[in-house]
Each structure stands twice: as structure tokens, then as C-alpha cells.
Chains A and B, each alone.
Chain A
Amino acid sequence: MITDTTSGNRGLLQAEPLIFESGHVTGTGVDLPAPKGTPNKLGGLTRKAALDLPGFSEPETMRHFVRLSQKNYAIDLGLFPLGSCTMKHNPRLNERAARFEGFADLHPLQPTSTIQGALELMDELAHWLCTLTGMPAVALSPKAGAHGEFAGMLAIKAALEARGESHRKRVLVPSSAHGTNPATAVAAGFTVDEVKGDEDGRVDLEDVVAKLGPDVAAIMITNPNTCGLFEPDIKKIADAVHAAGAYFYCDGANYNAIVGKVRPGDLGVDAMHINLHKTFSTPHGGGGPGAGPTVLSAALAPFAPVPHIVLRGGTRELREHTDGTQAFGRMCAFHGQMGMFTRALTYMMSHGSDGLRQVAEDAVLNANYLLARLKPHFSAPFGDRPCMHEVLLDDSSIKPAGVETIDMAKALLDEGYHPFTTYFPLVVHGAMLIEPTETEPKRELDRFADVMIALAERVKAGEVEFFKQAPKLTPMRRLDDTRAARQPKLRWRRGQNDTGAKVAAE
């Protein structure tokens, strides 16, 4: 072991057992009024078994979660270059606005006379999204990017049904696509037909054309794509798809690279989800919440899911049911991620159209700067052309020395950086996908590039063991994924801490 202490602590970093191991069921950190003892109306359905949930006082709760927080990396600590995840600065003004009582303390089913400001905010957000993308309509309710994909594909399905062409079941998805794309197409009831990528990391236009036919419902393309490249044939692909009677779904996960510079509507897109948390900076919170509004072309707009906001004589009302509309249905119980709408609109207004355009330009500039600095030291499979917002490297220059992508990632942890995205996209062997985003200053990019280059030098010097031992300085060393999957232990159970693990306090 690297750290050998009695407490399991490590300098300022303290070991922290599970709440179940240190709390007690009689503890509590809330003071509530005492119940009156009214006879219950539960019809004999009172809970029988104990909950066995430990409770902590407020100071203990603060310490537990603050200590846990110190075992996390975050964008506010440093560069978080996860490609295709888009970890950029999260302005705190967004947080403040989302917590205004007039937004946070609103019930989704209040009478519409009491929520006019909230509906106006949704309309404003819709206006920004439609104007930026050049699309006539947007469905706000999808709760995350993948949920937005689902909404777009269901709109396509509904439009095909309305045309009497429900036999169109095949969806073309490039091999480089996000895994959610094929999963979504299947969830929407389609079959997936994989389209090849060409040698340059782009969708192969000829293969698309060859695969188009009267049974094709749509193509799903991520643009800019997951190799960090803009699809130069995008318009030709869109035209061919439309000529074949199919629709063009664009995965908008990487919209931050072109916001304010290119309108997807001008490229022939029929539907595209927008990850508000990526392009418009709402925080990722260790895995969400996200929000995935989906912009729709005129052909698909009538099929947008409910609820819809309708303006009647200066008052906004909600249409909440599909009756009398062509809406394909409902995506979730209420109106979507209002908290994220507030944050995204705050961000959009702060930047304005000029700032958002600068966002795209700086994101692309930062990525190309890193590419220029790293290209001489690593293998960049598509590095002979400009990239968009992310840089794709692979492990072909380091693997012969015995160092793989995962080792490079773990070595970066000891250097104080969150690693790049590992092994994605799947079409590139040993992929390392780096996305700096527009909120990184030049000196931060230079420091990161210096560290990457120093690591490449260590590979060249044959320091394989250095990489295999990494990370040495993190709160945990390399964790055993195989063990977790083979012997799943997914929760605490009283009297069953039998993994043989050295618990922190030992």
C-alpha cells in the first residue's frame, strides 16, 4: 500500500465509511413538530418491518458529504477534457436564477394563471433554440439527450405513419455513432443498419446512398461527429435521404462546436436534440440531470409531443392531451426539466448571439491548438485536417512500448487531470478523445499539453512500470471492474460486509 496509516486517512483526505456503518437509526438531523397522535386512516397498511435507515445530525451529515465530495474531480478543480461530454465552466448565475422562488417553488399543475412567467420562460427558450438552429419548432419535454433522440425518432415514426408509410422500418446509423443512437432507434421500434465510415473518419456517402431504399425511415448522424470532425458531405447526405423519402435525425450532442456559426436547419436536418447541459452549460452533477429539447423541421413539427404552450389573447395556456392534435404522445409526467431551462436561458442571454458564436469559435480554436501541440508526439488518426471541438488521438504510437490508452489515462490522474474519454469512438482502436471546450484559458491548455508530452517522453524512455502502477496518488488505486461485475454487490446489507475489503477504519 502506498499510504500506511492507522486511520486510513491520507493527509487532509479522510477515509469515510458508509452512512450505514457509522450512523444509527435513532439519529436525525431534522427537527420536526411532534405528531399529535391522531388515529390513522391507513386501513391497516402500516409499515411492519423496520426501515433500518441510519440518520445523522446536521454536522455529521455535512462532514460525511463534504468528505465524499473531496474524493471527486470536478471542472471547478481543473481541466476536464472528456471528449463528447463537454465539461465547461458552469456559471453560478445560472444556479441562482434556477433557485428563484418563482421557478423552484412552482408546481407543474398549478392553475395556468399562476405560472405565466414560467410559460413565458419556456417560450423564450424555445425562441432561442429555434432561431439558433433555424428550425421551426421544438419539443422541450425530453429529460436528457438520449430522451431527446427518442422524441425525435418518435416524431419521425408518427410522420411516416401519417404518410401511410409505416413499412419504413430501417434506420441507418454510422459505426461511429454514440451508442445511444442505435439503442434509441431500436427503442422506437426500428431496425438498425450500420453505415461504414471512410478512411478519414467520415460517414461514407456512397455507402449511405447504396443503403437507401423504400424501407428506410431515417438516418441518424452525429454532426460534428464523434471523431471530432464535421461531415463535409452532410448536405449531400441530407438531400439523398430526403430524395429517398426518409428523414434526417442529427445527434446534437456536439452542437457546441457550431452554435451561432451554422444552423442545422440549413443542413437539411429534420430533428435534432440539444443537450442543454453541454452546449448551454447546465451542470452535469456527477451524471445529470440533463435536458434534451428536440428541434423539429416543418415536416415533423405537428407531431411534437404534448404539452404544448398555446397563446390565447395574451395569456399562455397549456395543451396537455393528444386529443385533436397530431402529437405522438407524452415524453414524461410534466413539462420537462424546468430547472435546466432556467439555467440554459440564463447562459444564452449572458452570451448573446455574439458570445455564442464566439463559444463555437473558441471551442474549435482550443481543440485545434491542442491538436497542433500534441500531433508530433502522439498518433492522431485524422490529424491532417482541422478538427472541430475535440481532438482524437489513438494509442498506436505508445502501444508498441507496452503502454495503452487506459495506462495513459491513469497516469494523467496522478498529474492532477481528469483523463480524456477512453476507447471512444469505437471505430478507432485505443481512442483518446480530448475536448478542452471554450472555457479553458491558453495557459491551462499549455500545461495540459506539456504534461501529455512529458508522458509521451516517458513512454519513449521505456518507463512501462510507471504507467502500470498508476494511479498512485488518488484516493483509490486502480479499481477492479471485473470483480464488481462478476460478484455484484450493489447495496449495503446489515451483517453482510463480507467482501474481505479493508474498511477504511481498520
Chain B
Amino acid sequence: MRYLPLTEADREQMLGVIGAKNVDELFVDVPKAALLKDLVDLPKAQGEIEVHRHLQRLAEKNTPAGRTAFFLGAGAYRHHVPASVDHLIQRSEFLTAYTPYQPEIAQGTLQALYEFQSQVAQLLDMEVANASMYDGSTACAEAAMMAARVTKRKKIVFSGGVHPHYIDTARTACEALGLEIVALPAAVDDEAAVMKHLGADVAGVIVQSPNVFGTITDITKIGEAAHGAGALLIATFTECVSFGLIEPAGAMGADIVCGEGQSIGNALNFGGPYVGLFAVKEKLIRQMPGRVAGETLDADGKRGFVLTLSTREQHIRREKATSNICTNSGLCQLAWTIHMTLLGERGLRQLATLNHEKAIALADALDKVSGVEVLTRRYFNEIAILLKKPAQGVVDALAEKGVIGGIAVSRLNPKAGMDNVLIACATEMNTDQDIATFAKALKEVLQ
């Protein structure tokens, strides 16, 4: 077996040093009845050629986004990732390193975490960011639980614009803690409806912008109302490229901003691994979940970085920890930081502008199709359109024509009562030809 370096002679010699006759003597504490005598009923070892072939065959049964006219967003986005990003994260010293428990020999990881935290805070216009969560949906669940800890209240209100899977994820986590989730009916453009539900029992209101239908919202007034009622304003997002162009939630009074970072540096990967972004106002840092890198000095007075504020964490506080998060998304975070470093302010603004222009072109093209109405008025790169037929059937029919033309709201949320609404997205990866193909195919399907 090519990954196992011990030879039979090594094994014999080592058993001799240990003073054991055979390896099973080392498993002496395992109850005899539980020790398997035969091999488990699975295939035997295979060489690199065979395994490669098998995985390749499975991969080829799929239709990758890049082989179609592709317009899917709703929480995961297809963007260009420069070749240097993947090259750098595959460097052994990043790829095969562990959590930086020994900071003296992990400054590469730690400085990159510090740069990530700084970039995220700048992007979201927030004071402090942590060092990466699993993904946007679990980051949003952590934000909800954090609001309950900070305010000592039990109700979380979600706007009708939040991604339904984010609400479901938060519901799983929050209800286990005895918190109450109020999810408002799906609405293309009504984040402000959460204000009607503010009361002395509300820990936080969660709004999304751009929301799952693509609508961008000024959440300033929601923040003022929430703060007036003693609740926190939590803003979430799924498309972080948008903040290259639109006003970030931090500038509009959010206490916690959390969302998905996949768009920068990370491929679609069929839903994971991704990287959650999570930022808070400075006064909240000791209630913030997850890891954080901080600046300090070494014994020679040189600046260096360590994991810090660990008194909040499970390995010290155990049942009193702010969360049970252990492993995070280190490598995805690194990819994010490298890509953001390549973009810089100039590149990010340009990328965001391109995305927006493509979405405008998409909206204009689809608007001309008979039986289509564009519902989203203010948007970044994603729009909701109303069709004259159920959207799921349209999506399936489009797929047969080689167009992956968005996501039916009914798939995300069967109870939304929006069976004829489709969410479509355009990014810098879409060509004018793709857009024309989509419009033509949609026209045919709707006829």
C-alpha cells in the first residue's frame, strides 16, 4: 500500500522492542467479540490508476457549470478564481498544516488569518471579524445564538428575504437551545417588515441584503428600531462580491454581519467547503464565536500573531463556551485572502461593477420574453422573475436545452406560495451569448 511506509521487517522489529508477539496483542483492551476477524465487506486496495479512473467516471456523470449557459446563485456563486490562488493554497506549508497551536512555527497561517480578519472588517465596514466559520448558513445560526446570549432574550425574527436554508439551519440550532424563531413570509422586497415584530422579548432581527431574491435594502431604519427595542440588528448575505459596489451593512448600523464568503477564492464545490464571514461591533468580541488571531510581541520584541481570546472557546470553557466550533475553514479563508489580495480595492470594484452590468443585461433580456416579469427593482447580480408557469418545470425544461437557468423558489421553500418565481443570477462568467441563449430557451419553454 503506497501510503504506508512500514515494511514487514520493520513491524517484526518494532513488535520485538514493544515485547508483543503480534499486533493483536496491542488491541488487548478491545472486547474479543468486537474484534473483527475478517476484513470488512468492501473492495480491496486499488492503485492510483484505477482510483483516478473511478472518480473521473463519477465526475463525468455531472454537468459542470462551465459547460452550460449557467445562471444559478441563491447562496453559491460562480466566479473566476485566479490560477495563482489554487496554486498557493496547495503549497504544503498551508495545505498540510494544522490549527496554529504553536505560533512560533505557524506565523504564515496566523498572519494570513490576521489579514483575513482585517480585509473582512474593511469589506463589511465592521470593527472586528473572526477567523472563519464553516459557511454562511452556520455563521448566521451562530449570530442568532450570539444575539440571544448578548441580550438574554429568546426570540429571533427573520425577514422574508433571508435564504430559506439559512433560516432552516438557524432554526435547527436555535430551537435546540429553546429559542423561538419567527420567520416572516417570503417577500421579494420587504426587509422592513421585521420592525413590526420588535418587542421586549426580541433578541435580534435578521435581514439579508442583497436578499435571496436579489433585492438590496437600506437597513438603517431597521437598525434604529431594533436598537430602540433593545435588540440587535444582524445582517446576513450570500454574495460578498456585492460589497465592492453597494453600501455594506456595517455602515448601516448592523451589530453583527455574517454571511457566505465562497464567492471570493472558492469554487462552487457542490455546496462545500465554503467559508463563513462573521464580523461584530468591538464591544461584542467576547461573545463572538469562533477563532480569532491577534497581534502580540515575541521574546525579542518583534511583532507576531497568535490565536487569542480563547477563554471563550470550548477547549477551555467546555460547557460554558460561546460555541462548540473547533475546526474552522482555514484553507478556504486563505483562498479568500489571497484572491482579495489579488483584487484589491480596484479589482473588487471592477469585479462588482461587471457583475452588476451582467445582471442588468440579464434582466433586460428576460424582461423582453413574453410571460416574464422582473420582480426585483434594486439588485446587484441576482434577480427574481415571475413566470406564467411553475418555475420548477421551467428549470427542468431549460436543463434539457442545456441551460441551467436559475432556481425555483418552490425548491428552496415549498411553502412560500411563489411557485412561479425563479431566481436567476449573472456574474462576470456569463457571456452575452449565454444571456441570449437563456432568453431564447426561456421563450421556447414558456410558449
Contact = CB atoms under 8 A, between A and B. Distances in A.
Interface string A293-308: 0000000000001000
Contacts of A285: 89, 94-95, 97, 330-332, 334
B357 A35 contact: yes
A138 interface: no
A121 interface: yes
Interface in B48-93: 48, 50-52, 54-68, 70, 72, 74-76, 78, 80, 82, 84, 86, 88-93
Given A118-B58, A386-B20, A483-B297, 4 more contacts: A114-B62, A477-B104, A479-B297, A493-B118
A59 B65 CA distance: 30
A342 B66 CA distance: 20
Interface residues of A, number: 217
Interface string A319-350: 01111000011111111111110100110111
Interface in B282-339: 285, 291-306, 308-311, 313-321, 323-332, 334, 338
Contacts of B344: 23-29, 53-56
B445 interface: no
A61 B98 CA distance: 23
Given A189-B178, A285-B95, A502-B301, A442 B134 contact: no
Given A337-B272, A353-B41, A229 B29 contact: yes
Nearest to B395: A111
24 contacts: A19-B115, A41-B359, A43-B377, A49-B251, A55-B341, A65-B91, A75-B96, A103-B270, A132-B42, A183-B317, A185-B319, A232-B29, A261-B35, A283-B96, A286-B331, A287-B132, A332-B272, A336-B271, A365-B18, A368-B20, A385-B28, A418-B105, A439-B4, A441-B10
A453 interface: no
A193 to B, nearest CB: 10
Interface in A448-500: 471, 474-481, 483-485, 488-493, 499-500
A345 B55 contact: yes
A198 B109 CA distance: 39
B114 A338 contact: no
Given A262-B34, A385-B29, A54 B341 contact: yes
Contacts of B19: 372
B165 A333 contact: yes
A109 B76 CA distance: 9
A46 B247 contact: yes
Interface stretch (A208-216, A242-250, A354-362, A392-400): A354-362
Majority secondary structure, A binding face: loop
A365 B23 contact: yes
Contact of A73 (B41, B105, B169, B345): B105
Contacts of A73: 93, 97, 102, 105-106
Most buried by A among B218, B359, B378: B378
A402 interface: no
B211 interface: no
Contacts of A348: 42
Contact of A338 (B20, B171, B271, B348): B271
A310 to B, nearest CB: 15
A340 B326 CA distance: 17
B97 A72 contact: yes
B174 to A, nearest CB: 10
Contact of A91 (B3, B44, B82): B3
B370 interface: no
B42 to A, nearest CB: 4
Given A82-B98, A286-B330, A305-B172, A30 B62 contact: no
Interface in B101-130: 101-109, 111-112, 114-115, 117-119, 121-123, 125, 128-129
B419 interface: no
Interface in A138-173: 143-147, 149-150, 154, 157
A32 B298 CA distance: 41
Most buried by A among B72, B134, B268, B356: B134
B349 interface: yes
Contacts of B345: 25-26, 50-55
A408 interface: no
Interface stretch (B191-199, B238-246, B436-444): B238-246
B341 A101 contact: no
Interface string A353-397: 111111101101110110111000000000001100000000000
Interface stretch (B135-143, B152-160, B200-208, B225-233): B135-143
A419 to B, nearest CB: 6
A364 B23 contact: yes
Nearest to A92: B90
B411 interface: yes
Most buried by A among B23, B117, B163, B271: B271
